[in-house]
Amino acid sequence: MPIVYAENNKASDVEITPKITIKGSKGKGKLAPLTATGILGALPLSPERRWAIIIGISDYAGTANDIQYADDDALDMLKTLIEIYGYKRENILLLISDYNVNNATRNEIIKAINDIKDKEKSGDEVVFFYSGHGARGKANDGDNEAIDEAIVPYECTADSLIWDGELKSLFKDFHTSRIIFIFDSCYAGGMTDLKANGRIVVMASTENGLSYEGDDWQNGVFTYYFVDKGVFQGFANTHDYSEVEGDEPATIEEAFDYAKANVPSIVPQTPTIIDSFTNDLLP
């Protein structure tokens, strides 16, 4: 299948914003059920039916745009999908920029989406995770928004950005509706174009908000609470889902609730979510 590229990636008034590096404490680990229903939706799938694209960019082109922990966010997401949720490593495409490896360019990200599109089938599960800079501007990306949001590939230029309308177009022909999007970046809350039945869009910040990282977390603050502490360490487990035997991992909704309760108490950042999956999703 040929790679799908955006027809027109020109934009004006582009603002590329890196995560803000801060110092602080990790907090006390609050719990505040907000999104999780306590009722499991469609049951988890076999590992052969789960796919993921994980992107983390710390080392951007040049020397002025680097951040520290987006690559760690990606690696922790990879570890969590494999060790906690049982994903197969061969079903995961890792696009990372960490001073030693770089395959997180615009073309490689688009190619990865199309590669997964060629493999996934109706009813399968797909995770798309991005950690890095966020951007906004006025883009000709196929939607009618006055201001668009974008993820920022390695090139870190206005022409390299992948806008929310482009992501919507790239994912519109997927066979499955069970798709989980996770964005740890500034302006992440603007990724609402990706909303569709069966999907969950998890966003580390509001549409106009910034995202933060720091040495105390060794991660983006959102990823630390959503992925590391919430899911991998199990602190987000607040419900006993009777449909699953044993000690099941946190659902996406439980992990989001845990992050939503903790992140704003540490930094001026408010996670947001669009959940169009029926009840709670256990990857």
Q: Tell me which of 104-118, 206-220, 231-245 is least confident.
A: 231-245
Flag whether 90 is in a domain.
Answer: yes
C-alpha dist (Å) from residue 2 to 5, 114, 172, 246, 280: 9, 8, 15, 43, 35
Residue with tokens 């740890």: 184
Q: How confident is the model at residue 25 (pLDDT cuts 50, 70, 90)?
A: low
**What are 175's two structure tokens?**
């066979």
Flag whether 3 is in a domain.
Answer: no
Question: Which residues constitute the domain of residue 159?
Answer: 11-275
Catalytic residue among 156, 175, 186, 239: 186
List phi, psi (to 5°) of 261. Answer: -75, -30
**What are 61's two structure tokens?**
């082109």
133 included as an active-site residue = yes
Share of the chain above pLDDT 70, in %: 89
Predicted confidence (pLDDT) per residue in 53-83, tens digit:
999 999 999 888 899 999 999 999 999 999 9
What average pLDDT does this structure show over 176-195?
A: 97
What average pLDDT does this structure show over 42-51?
A: 95
Q: What is the pLDDT of residue 1?
A: 32
Q: How many angstroms separate the CA atoms of 63 and 53, rounded? A: 26
Flag whether 103 is in a domain.
Answer: yes
Flag whether 260 is in a domain.
Answer: yes
Q: What is the pLDDT of residue 218?
A: 96
Q: What is the pLDDT of residue 63?
A: 80
Q: Quick check: pTM over 0.85?
A: yes
What average pLDDT does this structure show over 165-187?
A: 97
Predicted confidence (pLDDT) per residue in 220-269, tens digit:
999 999 999 999 999 999 888 877 766 689 999 999 999 999 999 899 99
- CATH number of the domain bearing residue 38: 3.40.50.1460
Q: What is the pLDDT of residue 154?
A: 96
Say if residue 113's pLDDT is above 90. yes
> Does 276 or 3 have the greater pLDDT score?
276
Q: Tell me which of 32-41, 87-96, 108-117, 241-250 is least confident.
A: 241-250
213 within 8 A of 68, measured Cβ to Cβ: yes
Flag whether 1 is in a domain.
Answer: no
156 included as an active-site residue = no
Say if residue 84's pLDDT is above 90. yes
Q: What is the pLDDT of residue 7?
A: 45
Residue with tokens 């989001």: 256
Q: How many angstroms separate the CA atoms of 167 and 189, rounded? A: 14
Query: What mean pLDDT is reported for the chain?
Result: 90
Domain count for the chain: 1
What average pLDDT does this structure show over 185-207?
A: 97
Q: How many angstroms separate the CA atoms of 75 and 48, rounded? A: 21
